[in-house]
């Protein structure tokens, strides 16, 4: 993996070749970044990628077509086999609003998306024998297509601001805090999340905090579970442990020790 921000991926060292590319300025209100994995596995082998997805949707181009993957309500995984690639865009709330009228209907769903021109452009670029050049061309083609989406309205931009606030400030642990910072009511925050993300705002907050907790536990051997919990606004380490068990199915210590991954993981 070539991006320092490994949030969302529980075991980044087990990934195939994987890149995250920042969205160019012309689509930064619609797309947070592009992600591009490639894999080539021997016959009979598979790689199980364990994910704690961002509280967001993705528009994904693969050899077979284009799909819109809605927000996940919990942890998920992908099973990779054979040879393949994908070029995905992590959508900002304003980007999803331009593609679908009701994100709640997409929760835990990946559905075909009609974008033949996007598929042709990206697939053609990924066929380049120079993998790096092909990836760069594919991202440019994707960004060019996204730049033609409808411009976000004020509500969509406010939903972007909500996402930015929650993602960047670990001190945001309650919906009321986000509402005060944005200068809107709690009900207003709930409406923004429902229309532009498809998940309740408290779920969005907890997902970001849990991602950050997993990243700290993975990258800093000196960080205790209690210290991580305190830094991220949990009442105590028991609440962090409960979130781990509920969403991931194992404890923070089991995760740190590498014992949280299920059998049949990447090999």
Q: What is the pLDDT of residues 95-112, one digit of tens each?
A: 999 999 999 999 999 999
**Judgement on whether residues 54 and 80 belong to the same structural domain of the protein:** yes
Give the tokens for residue 76.
């998920």
Q: Is the pLDDT of residue 6 over 90?
A: no
The fraction of the chain above a pLDDT of 90, given in percent, is 69
Q: Is the pLDDT of residue 94 over 90?
A: yes
Predicted local confidence at residue 28, as pLDDT: 97
**Judgement on whether residues 184 and 139 belong to the same structural domain of the protein:** no
Predicted local confidence at residue 76, as pLDDT: 85
Q: How many angstroms separate the CA atoms of 215 and 116, rounded?
A: 37
Structural domain includes residue 7: no
Q: What is the DSSP letter of 9?
A: B
**Judgement on whether residues 165 and 198 belong to the same structural domain of the protein:** yes
* Domain count of the fold of the chain: 2
Q: Is the pLDDT of residue 219 over 60?
A: yes
In which domain, by residue range, is 79 found? 12-146
In this structure, what are the phi and psi dihedrals at residue 177, rounded to the nearest 5 degrees? -65, -45
pLDDT confidence bin for 252, thresholds 50/70/90: very high
- Residues 203, 184, 236, 225, Cα dihedral to 10°: 60
**Judgement on whether residues 176 and 135 belong to the same structural domain of the protein:** no
pTM for the full model? 0.90
Give the tokens for residue 242.
């409960």
Predicted local confidence at residue 27, as pLDDT: 98
Q: Cα 180 vs. chain centroid, distance in angstroms?
A: 26
**Judgement on whether residues 119 and 180 belong to the same structural domain of the protein:** no
Predicted local confidence at residue 48, as pLDDT: 81
Token pair 């974008």 is found at 115
The residue out of 123, 146, 169 marking a domain boundary is 146
In this structure, what are the phi and psi dihedrals at residue 110, rounded to the nearest 5 degrees? -120, 115
């Amino acid at each position: 993996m070539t991006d320092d921000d490994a949030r969302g991926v529980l075991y980044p060292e087990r990934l195939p070749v994987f890149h995250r590319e920042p969205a160019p300025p012309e689509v930064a209100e619609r797309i947070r970044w592009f992600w591009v994995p490639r894999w080539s596995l021997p016959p009979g082998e598979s790689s199980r990628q364990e994910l704690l997805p961002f509280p967001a949707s993705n528009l994904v181009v693969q050899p077979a077509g284009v799909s819109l993957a809605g927000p996940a309500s919990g942890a998920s995984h992908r099973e990779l086999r054979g040879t393949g690639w994908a070029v995905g865009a992590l959508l900002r709330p304003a980007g999803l609003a331009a593609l679908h009228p009701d994100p709640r209907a997409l929760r835990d769903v990946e559905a075909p998306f009609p974008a033949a021109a996007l598929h042709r452009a990206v697939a053609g670029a990924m066929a380049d024998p120079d993998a790096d050049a092909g990836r760069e061309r594919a991202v440019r083609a994707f960004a060019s297509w996204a730049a033609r989406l409808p411009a976000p309205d004020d509500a969509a931009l406010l939903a972007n601001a909500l996402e930015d606030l929650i993602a960047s400030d670990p001190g945001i642990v309650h919906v009321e805090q986000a509402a005060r910072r944005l200068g809107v009511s709690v009900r207003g925050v709930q409406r923004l999340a429902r229309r532009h993300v498809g998940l309740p705002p408290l779920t969005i907050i907890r997902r970001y905090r849990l991602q950050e907790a997993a990243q700290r536990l993975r990258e800093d051997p000196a960080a205790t579970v209690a210290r991580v919990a305190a830094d991220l606004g949990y009442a105590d380490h028991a609440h962090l442990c409960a979130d781990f068990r509920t969403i991931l199915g194992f404890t923070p210590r089991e995760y740190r020790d590498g014992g949280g991954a299920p059998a049949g993981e990447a090999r």
